[in-house]
Amino acid sequence: MEVPDGLRQSPRWWHDPDGAAWLAGLPALVADACARWDLRVDGAAMHGSNALVVPVVAQSGAAALRLTPGDARAAAELRALRFWAGAPVVGLLRAEPDGSVLLLERLDASRPLAERPVDEVAATLGGLVRRLALPDPPDDVPSTADAARALVEFGPRRWQTLGRPMPVGVLDSATELARSLADGAPDVAVDGDVHAGQVMRSSQGGAWTVVDPLLMRGDPGYDLARSVWTQVDRLPDPAAVRRFADLVVEAAGGDTQRSRAWLVVRTVEYWLWCVAAGLTEDPLRCARLIDALA
C-alpha cells in the first residue's frame, strides 16, 4: 500500500519528530490490522490531515479502517465517538484501546458536503451543531470557556512574538469578546472541529454524518467560524461571507450573540495558530472573514 503524498505533506508532521516513523510504518500497520480483524482492503486509501482511512470489507460488510498515531488526540476521538453514539456521527465498530486504529462504518466519500451549494452547506452544518449539543458532556473534556480565557491571557503575547500578524484593533476586539465568553456558557456537548470537509453522506439512508469529532463542552457556537473560513474561497465577496455566516448561526440556534462573538474569537485564535505553524493560505482566509464581519 502506498501512503498518499497528501498525508505525508500535511502540516501535522512538520513539527512532529515521530511523524516520519509512523508514516513509514503505515503499510505494515494496515496489514497487521487487517490480519487481526479479518479485513480485506476494498479500495484506494484516503486521508485527512492526521489519519489514513482505508476502505475494507469485514465479516459484517463494508467498513473503513482509520489509522492515526496513538496519542492524546486519538484517545480523545475514540471518546467522542463513544459519547455521540447514535447521534449524526460516524459509527464505531471496533477500536484499539488507544484509538490509534478504528474500524468505522463506511460512508459515501464520493458525496462530501463541501461540494454542495453553499446555502445547503450552511444549513446542514448549523443543523448538525444543534443536534450534537447533547446534555451532560464529561466534566474533564476541554471547555469553550477555557479556550476564551486562553486567548485573553496569551493572545497579546503570541501576537507580539509572531510579529503582529494582524491589526492591533482586530486582536483587541477579539480579546474583549473572548473575555465576555469566558462566563455564562451553556453546559452541552460541542464538536470543536466541525466543517464541511468532515461531513459525508451515510452509505445507508444518505443522512449527513460527521467524522473526526472533537468533544468539548460549553457554547455550541464555539467552532462555527471553522465552518465559514473553510468555505470562504467559494464566497465571492464580503456580503456573501456575511450571509453564509448568518445562515450557519441561524441554523445552529442557541444564543445568537455569543455565536457571533465566537466567529471573531475563533478566527483570530486560528489566525495566530496558522502563523505559528507556518501556513500561508489560511491566514488570508481568516483576514477575509474578519474583514467581512467588521
192-232: pLDDT as tens digits? 999 999 999 998 788 999 999 999 999 999 999 999 999 99
Question: Which three cell numbers mark 248?
Answer: 450557519
Map residue 92 onto helix, strand or coil.
strand
Name the nearest CA neighbour of 137 among 85, 215, 210, 194.
Answer: 215
User: What confidence category does residue 79 fall into, taking pLDDT thresholds of 50, 70 and 90?
Assistant: very high
The pLDDT score that the predictor gives to residue 217 is: 98
Query: With bands split at pLDDT 50, 70 and 90, how would you rate the model's confidence at 59?
Result: very high
Question: What is the C-alpha to C-alpha distance for residues 13 and 50, in angstroms, rounded to an integer?
Answer: 9
**Stated pTM of the model:** 0.92
Name the strand (E) or helix (H) holding 263. Answer: helix 256-277
Between 4 and 79, residue with greater pLDDT = 79
Q: Catalogue all structural domains in the chain, each as residue range(s) with its CATH number.
A: 5-105 (3.30.200.20), 111-293 (3.90.1200.10)
**For the chain, what is the total number of helices (H) and then of strands (E)?**
11, 11
Which CB contacts under 8 angstroms, 24+ apart, belong to 133-136? 133/186, 133/188, 133/189, 133/190, 133/220, 133/254, 134/83, 134/84, 134/87, 134/188, 134/189, 135/187, 135/188, 135/189
Q: What is the band of 131 on the pLDDT scale with cuts at 50, 70, 90?
A: very high
> Between residues 99 and 1, which one has the greater pLDDT?
99
CA pair distance 169, 77, nearest whole angstrom: 36
CB burial class (10 A; 0-12, 13-18, 19+) of residue 197? middle
* CA trace torsion 203, 208, 212, 217 (10° rounding): -150
163-181 burial, b if ≥16 CB within 10 A, otherwise e?
Answer: eebbeeebbebbbebbeeb
The mean pLDDT value for 258-269 works out to 98
For residue 6, the model assigns a pLDDT of 86
Residues with Cβ within 8 Å of 59's Cβ and at least 6 positions away in sequence, in order, are 38
Helix (H) or strand (E) holding 95: strand 92-95
The reported pLDDT for the residue numbered 110 is 87
Q: What is the mean pLDDT of residues 15-34?
A: 89
**In this predicted model, what pLDDT tens digit does every residue of 134-185 receive, in sequence order?**
999 999 999 999 999 999 999 999 999 999 999 999 999 999 999 999 999 9
Q: What is the reported pLDDT for 4?
A: 87
